[in-house]
Chains A and B, each alone.
Chain A
Amino acid sequence: MFSRYIIQGDSMLPTFQSGARVFVYRWGAIRKGDIVVFQKNGRLLIKRAVQKVGDRWCLRGDNLKESIEYDNIDRDAIKGRVLFSY
Chain B
Amino acid sequence: MKTTPIRHFLRFIDEVSPPKIAHAHCDIPCGVYEPDSAMWAVETVEKLTHKLLELKAPEPGSAEYLEYLNTVARAVAVKEEYAEICKRQVLILWTDYFKSEHLEKWPDLHEKVWMATKQCSEVKRTVSEEACAELRKRVSEIAEIFKATKN
Contacts and interface: CB of A to CB of B under 8 A. Distances in A.
Interface residues of B, number: 21
B24 A61 contact: yes
Interface residues of A, number: 29
Interface in B10-24: 10-11, 13-14, 18-24
A41 B29 CA distance: 7
A45 B27 contact: yes
A51 interface: no
A11 B20 CA distance: 17
A32 interface: no
A31 interface: no
Nearest to A23: B10
B19 A8 contact: no
B30 interface: yes
B95 interface: yes
Nearest to B18: A6
B30 A67 contact: no
Contacts, number: 77
B107 to A, nearest CB: 22
B22 A7 contact: yes
B21 to A, nearest CB: 5
B147 interface: no
A10 to B, nearest CB: 7
B1 A5 contact: no
Contact of B23 (A4, A46, A68): A46
B26 A45 contact: no
A6 B19 contact: yes
Given A45-B27, A46-B23, 13 more contacts: A5-B19, A6-B22, A8-B21, A9-B25, A11-B24, A40-B29, A43-B23, A44-B20, A44-B23, A46-B22, A66-B26, A67-B26, A85-B1
